[in-house]
């Protein structure tokens, strides 16, 4: 039915914009969500009967704000204040504006405020900007729906109670706050990257949602090189997503992938973004990670070994954003460059933090194998297999292919 | 904190134990169990033979009622269990997600009951 489709479209595309607008003054995200949900319910009830309004978003906004206003008036009878009257006046003035201001960037800043628990930041973003429900987010982050629901409620309570403002932070703290937004988007992408590889597809990944958020961030900050780097990195990974499985559903490592099976539109867009970002001469974590993926692609497409520039990029990455993942990847690059002893030494330095970290055991298995320590390599590969959640990766790690690739 | 992880498999999955696919089946489980043992989180655990080998007993008025097979037929069958010693539920969930049966079957996680209060 047409009216239902338009309401659902509006729900998908306008959710975050409407929520940001509704919550920005009151700072009460939970109340704004309730009001928006009842506005969507009202739309589904009224539009099929009385026709779709000329401006569906405006209709939804007005309806939701009326609900919010009524709820607030009830709550305010005891604690009435001038602040609320000022707020209502401000909102009236805003409603007269022909276009809705897009406050989603401010909403992103709120979701990643340092006062919000870090683990709740990406989930909060996915829920408030995209309207995802707690159960779906919980599945992607591997926590129970009840725990995720509680974490989200706590985070929203904190925003209201702590009075976290819907503003763009001052220039002195802005870089750090933007970094938090990018990390949260990348955390959401990471869950999608893993989840979409599960054979049964039970976990709907959040990769597309994260890509949407990265595009949204870049659209709000077109001159920010690191935000361009983040989108480029996501696009490089997305380009190779389907190449990671063969027709039997078996895992295919990057070194065996057929570049013809990569998505060229994704790669071209990423390359353009990366080049434009580089003109700012302000490299950061995401530009460097994207550049590393770009080099990996070139290496695979041309067959030309690029070990030296790859190691150089890993060193720069570790200097600006040290992480276990980057340190392991650098060690793997060392092994690939024919320096297994150096790779093993680099991995040993991380051992204490990696007892149950699958990529570390896989990298160690490869480096041991390259050093001629076959038995130890087998044991390490089995340990990695016992730590993965992905059946295809598990089978690959236990197969002979792992050491011949 | 101790948690029991109860591994439920589909009959098809458990059937792999007796097919040409058996090495892959056992390889996956021994890698998984080995990783838990090596990480020092495994308190104890056992695998179980299939439900067809079960015997169920019930007493009624002092009389034994014994029949072959499991108490109830279900879509998934208990294939084994472990008791983990881990800091919290999140860590137990991480280990559960690594189980070979987590994809096609399921893993039930239950806190182990603390001893009842004395006296």
Sign of CA dihedral B97, B98, B99, B102: positive
Chain A interface, mutation test: which of B103, B104, B110, B111, most A Cβ atoms within 10 Å? B103
Q: What is the pLDDT of residue B63?
A: 92
**CATH code for position A389:** 1.25.40
CB A369 within 8 A of CB A403: yes
The verdict on a CB contact (< 8 Å) between A142 and B102 is: no
- pLDDT (tens digit per residue) in B52-98: 899 999 998 889 999 887 777 778 899 999 999 999 988 998 899 99
Tokens of A312: 């150089």
Chain B positions touching A191 (Cβ under 8 A) are none
How confident is the model over B38-56, as a mean pLDDT? 93
First to last CA, chain A: 52
CB A272 within 8 A of CB A278: no
User: Coil, helix or strand for A240?
Assistant: coil
Provide CB contacts within 8 A for A3, sequence distance 6+: A43, A44, A47, A48, A51, A52
Compute φ and ψ for A148, nearest 5 degrees: -65, -45
* CA A242 centroid distance within chain: 19
Rg of chain B over Cα atoms, rounded to whole angstroms, equals: 17
Q: What is the pLDDT of residue A55?
A: 85
Pairing, β B106-111 against β B42-47: unpaired
- pLDDT (tens digit per residue) in A9-44: 777 778 888 899 899 878 889 999 999 989 988 988
Please check whether residue A176 touches B, CB under 8 A: no
Mean pLDDT of chain B: 91
Q: Is residue A93 scored above 80 in pLDDT?
A: no
Q: Is residue A265 scored above 90 in pLDDT?
A: yes
Among A59, A76, A101, the domain boundary falls at: A101
Q: What is the pLDDT of residue A87?
A: 57
**Top CATH class, B2-111:** alpha beta
Please check whether residue B31 touches A, CB under 8 A: yes
Distance between CA B27 and CA B31 in Å, rounded?
6
Tokens of B108: 């039930």
What is this model's ipTM?
0.85
Chain A interface, mutation test: which of B31, B90, B104, most A Cβ atoms within 10 Å? B31
CA distance B20 to chain A (A): 15
Residue of A nearest to B102 (CA): A389
Residue of A nearest to B106 (CA): A202
- pLDDT (tens digit per residue) in A320-370: 999 898 999 999 999 999 999 999 999 999 999 899 999 999 999 999 999
Instruction: Work out the angle at residue B18's Cα, subtended by the Cα atoms of residues B17 and B22, and round it to the nearest 5 degrees.
Output: 50
DSSP string for A191-237 = HHHHHTTSTT--S---HHHHHHHHHHHHHH-TT-HHHHHHHHHHHHH
Question: Is A80 part of any domain?
Answer: yes
* Of A10, A17, A32, A12, the residue nearest A219 (C-alpha): A17
Q: What is the pLDDT of residue A45?
A: 87
Question: Is A120 part of any domain?
Answer: no
Q: What is the pLDDT of residue B22?
A: 94
A-B CB pairs within 8 A amount to 58
Chain A positions touching B33 (Cβ under 8 A) are 386
Chain A positions touching B34 (Cβ under 8 A) are 382-383, 386
Question: Is A315 part of any domain?
Answer: no
CA distance A378 to chain B (A): 11
Provide CB contacts within 8 A for A393, sequence distance 6+: A197, A251, A385
A395 → closest Cβ in B24, B33, B104? B24
Please check whether residue B109 touches A, CB under 8 A: no
Chain B interface, mutation test: which of A386, A390, A391, A396, most B Cβ atoms within 10 Å? A386
Question: Is A354 part of any domain?
Answer: yes
Sheet holding B77-85, edge to edge: B42-47, B77-85, B2-9, B106-111
The verdict on a CB contact (< 8 Å) between A386 and B32 is: yes
B35 → closest Cβ in A144, A383, A391? A383
B31 → closest Cβ in A144, A202, A382? A382
Among A56, A77, A101, the domain boundary falls at: A101
A142 → closest Cβ in B27, B31, B93? B93
Mean pLDDT of chain A: 87
* CA A24 centroid distance within chain: 23
Distance between CA A165 and CA B75 in Å, rounded?
52
Lowest pLDDT segment from A15-24, A78-87, A127-136: A78-87
Chain B positions touching A200 (Cβ under 8 A) are 103-104
Q: Is residue B34 scored above 70 in pLDDT?
A: yes
Sign of CA dihedral A168, A174, A175, A177: negative
The verdict on a CB contact (< 8 Å) between A387 and B98 is: yes
How many distinct structural domains can be found in chain A?
2
The verdict on a CB contact (< 8 Å) between B100 and A391 is: yes
The verdict on a CB contact (< 8 Å) between B28 and A382 is: no
Which string of b and e fits A210-231 if b means at least 16 CB within 10 Å? bbbbbbbbbebbeebbbbbbbb
Please check whether residue A386 touches B, CB under 8 A: yes
Name the residue range of residue A363's domain. 323-405
Q: What percentage of chain A carries pLDDT values higher than 90?
A: 54
The verdict on a CB contact (< 8 Å) between A385 and B104 is: no
CA distances from B61 to B55, B57, B58, B64, B67 (A): 20, 13, 10, 8, 17
Any idea where the domains of chain B sit in the sequence? 2-111
Pairing, β B63-68 against β B55-60: antiparallel
Alpha helices in chain B (DSSP H): 11-15, 22-39, 89-97
User: Coil, helix or strand for A42?
Assistant: helix
Tokens of A82: 């001038």
CA distance B100 to chain A (A): 7
Among A101, A133, A156, the domain boundary falls at: A101
Question: Is A115 part of any domain?
Answer: no
Residue of A nearest to B25 (CA): A395
């Amino acid at each position: 039915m047409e009216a239902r489709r338009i309401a659902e479209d509006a729900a998908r595309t306008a959710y975050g914009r409407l929520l940001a607008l509704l919550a920005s003054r009151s700072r009460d995200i939970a109340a704004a969500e309730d009001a928006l949900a009842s506005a969507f319910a009202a739309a589904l009830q009224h539009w099929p009967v009385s026709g779709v309004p000329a401006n569906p978003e405006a209709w939804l906004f007005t309806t939701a704000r009326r609900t919010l206003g009524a709820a607030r008036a009830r709550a305010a009878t005891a604690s009435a204040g001038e602040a609320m009257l000022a707020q209502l006046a401000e909102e009236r003035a805003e409603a007269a504006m022909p276009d809705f201001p897009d406050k989603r960037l401010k909403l992103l800043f709120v979701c990643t405020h340092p006062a919000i628990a870090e683990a709740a930041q990406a989930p909060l973003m996915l829920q408030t900007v995209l309207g995802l429900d707690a159960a779906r987010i919980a599945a992607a982050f591997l926590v129970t729906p009840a725990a995720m629901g509680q974490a989200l409620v706590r985070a929203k309570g904190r925003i209201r109670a702590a009075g976290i403002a819907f503003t763009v932070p001052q220039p002195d703290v802005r870089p750090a706050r933007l970094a938090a937004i990018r990390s949260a988007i990348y955390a959401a992408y990471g869950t999608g990257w893993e989840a979409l590889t599960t054979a049964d597809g039970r976990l709907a990944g959040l990769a597309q949602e994260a890509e949407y958020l990265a595009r949204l961030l870049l659209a709000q900050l077109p001159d920010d090189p690191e935000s361009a780097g983040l989108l480029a990195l996501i696009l490089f990974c997305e380009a190779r997503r389907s190449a990671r499985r063969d027709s039997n559903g078996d895992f295919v490592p990057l070194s065996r992938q057929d570049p013809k099976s990569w998505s060229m539109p994704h790669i071209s867009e990423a390359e353009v973004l990366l080049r434009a970002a580089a003109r700012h001469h302000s490299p950061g974590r995401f530009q460097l990670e994207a550049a590393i993926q770009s080099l990996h692609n070139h290496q695979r497409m041309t067959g030309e070994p690029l070990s030296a520039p790859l190691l150089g990029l890993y060193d720069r990455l570790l200097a600006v954003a040290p992480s276990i993942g980057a340190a392991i990847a650098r060690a793997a690059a060392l092994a690939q460059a024919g320096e297994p002893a150096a790779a093993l030494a680099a991995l040993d330095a991380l051992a204490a933090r990696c007892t149950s970290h699958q990529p570390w055991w896989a990298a160690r298995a490869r480096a041991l194998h390259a050093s001629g320590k076959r038995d130890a390599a087998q044991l390490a590969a089995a340990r990695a297999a016992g730590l993965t959640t992905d059946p295809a990766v598990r089978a690959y790690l236990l197969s002979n292919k792992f050491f011949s690739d | 904190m101790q948690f029991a992880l109860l591994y439920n498999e589909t009959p098809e999955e458990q059937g792999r134990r007796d097919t040409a696919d058996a090495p892959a089946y056992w390889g996956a489980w021994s890698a998984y169990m080995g990783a838990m043992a090596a990480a020092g989180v495994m308190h104890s655990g056992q695998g179980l033979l299939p439900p067809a080998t079960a015997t169920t007993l019930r007493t009624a008025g002092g009389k034994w009622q014994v029949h072959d097979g499991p108490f109830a037929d279900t879509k998934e069958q208990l294939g084994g269990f472990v008791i983990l010693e881990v800091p919290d539920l999140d860590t137990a969930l991480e280990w559960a997600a690594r189980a070979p049966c987590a994809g096609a079957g399921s893993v039930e996680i239950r806190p182990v009951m603390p001893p009842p209060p004395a006296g």
